[in-house]
Amino acid sequence: MTKCSGGTITVDNGYRIHKITATGTLTILERGYVELLLLAGGGSGGATTNAGGGGAGGYLYYSSYLLNILGAITVTIGLGSTTLGVNGGNSAFLDLLAYGGGFGGRGNEAGRAGGCGGGAGSAGNAYSGGAGSQGYAGGASSGWASGGGGGCGSVGRKSSSSDTGRGAGVNLSISGTSEEYGIGGAASSYGSSTPRANYGDGGSGKQTGGTGYQGSAGVLIVRYRIMQAHSASRGRLRNCGNVDPRI
């Protein structure tokens, strides 16, 4: 039966959940299968009036992944890009590697490829969004409408007065509730967005003189069922032993 230690531990409906939000270790105490999400950091948005949004961090998700090595395993959590023109950081665990999101283009350049692609900037011409290797591409631009960053759940789009162009994230319940991971950054032509910490969101395109553009860091989440035994006296399941299920 799988057992680990490390990270922030919660217990939900018979499952133990480990959430690691910064580079560190996860110690595998007993081998077994787990549900696993590895998410990289989001890319930066561009920084002009018509800049593209940053791409979300790429993600790897497994409903059943075998942890077959015992001991302390290094976990690298990719940071969101805090520098214009730089992709988000990669996240790594065992042989898994999630790629950081591509940065959004400035007013005269295409979006950069990454885990999810950055949106294109616009300066009266058309540019392409960056490709996504573990998610979706960033939005293209045309005229003076820039493209939103690609998300883990859908492509970025050319922005409009009613649409910031940001690609949707992917909805997963690995934390115990359904949450959306890896949303692309908004294009600055028609709005802005605020990345959520450790959701791998892409940075918003930054209006001239405005704030924003930084992507957010990624995360590793591991979930597995806690060993249970049948209670003959009441005919229901209970935890084995007097052990704190968070350990």
104-115 burial code (b ≥16 CB/10 A, e <16): bbbbebbbbbbb
Q: What is the mean pLDDT of each run of 10 residues along the chain (247 residues)?
A: 95 97 98 98 92 97 97 98 94 98 94 98 94 98 95 97 96 97 95 94 83 90 80 39 42
Tokens of 217: 């860091």
Task: Return the structure tokens found at 171.
Answer: 């909805």
Task: Single out the residue of 96, 106, 61, 59 nearest to residue 203, CA to CA.
Answer: 106
CB 2 within 8 A of CB 68: no
pLDDT of amino acid 246: 47
The whole-number pLDDT of residue 209 equals 63
Enter the DSSP assignment of 234: T
229: which strand partners? 238
Return the closest-CA partner of residue 206 out of 71, 90, 106, 125.
106
Give CA–CA dist 75/84, Å, rounded: 26
- What is the SS3 assignment for 7? coil
Helix (H) or strand (E) holding 31: none
* pLDDT at 15 (0 to 100): 97
Number of H helices, E strands in the chain: 0, 14
Whether the full predicted model's pTM is greater than 0.85, yes or no, is yes
pLDDT, residue 228, reads 59
CA angle 146, 194, 62 (to 5 degrees): 95
| pLDDT for 147 | 97
- Three-state secondary structure string covering 90-143: CEEECCEEECCCCCCCCCCCCCCCECCCCCCCCCCCCECCCCECCCCCCCCEEC
Token pair for residue 175? 């934390």
